[in-house]
Amino acid sequence: MSASLRSNRAIGAIPAMAAAALLAVSLAWAAPASARTPPAMAAKAEQADFIVVDKSARRMQLLRGGKVLKSYAILLGDAPTGHKRQQGDERTPEGEYRISGRNQNSRFHLSLRVSYPNAADRKQAQARGVDPGGDIMIHGGTPPGYRRDWTDGCVAVTDREIEDIWSRVPTGTPIRIDP
């Protein structure tokens, strides 16, 4: 086989190798979320006993015994000003809630469910004749360095940050979301 024929075959193999690599990366990225193993819980001394979200400052703090354990930059719903009033308004609720569940199969990497709506939220929505909405989460999915509100009312952080938060926030942790 001539050197030029071998060279042409090698060059022809490059697109095939690139396609195979792209397919492998795509399949790994698209692996079912259930294939992920969530992070283990941190030591008790590193777990939060209270969460404060400051919407106007775009910060979330995990506290233990009144002291800040960790602080994160956050992004909110597309309509971040004001308390969530109804399904679809894209506002992040304000008030006192709890972390009521954990989803390791979230389409946003990992998520912690916020117990919105509470009794007061349901009462206000009923008085207005609207659905208060729900499915408010703290979740990943924000690309590193991205700084524009993008959720439908959730609190968003990067995937790396939600892994840290997941390990530090037990189900039942109180959360206060301030304007």
Nearest-angstrom CA–CA distance, 177 and 130? 22
| CA atoms in the 13 A half-sphere facing the CB of 33 | 11
> Is 163 annotated as catalytic?
no
Nearest-angstrom CA–CA distance, 156 and 24? 28
> Is 154 annotated as catalytic?
yes
Q: Give the residue ranges of DSSP H helices in the chain.
A: 3-29, 119-128, 159-168
Catalytic option among 53, 74, 112, 154: 154
| CA atoms in the 13 A half-sphere facing the CB of 147 | 6
Closest alpha carbon to 117 in 145, 96, 142, 139: 96
Catalytic option among 55, 84, 113, 139: 139
Annotated catalytic residues are: 139, 154
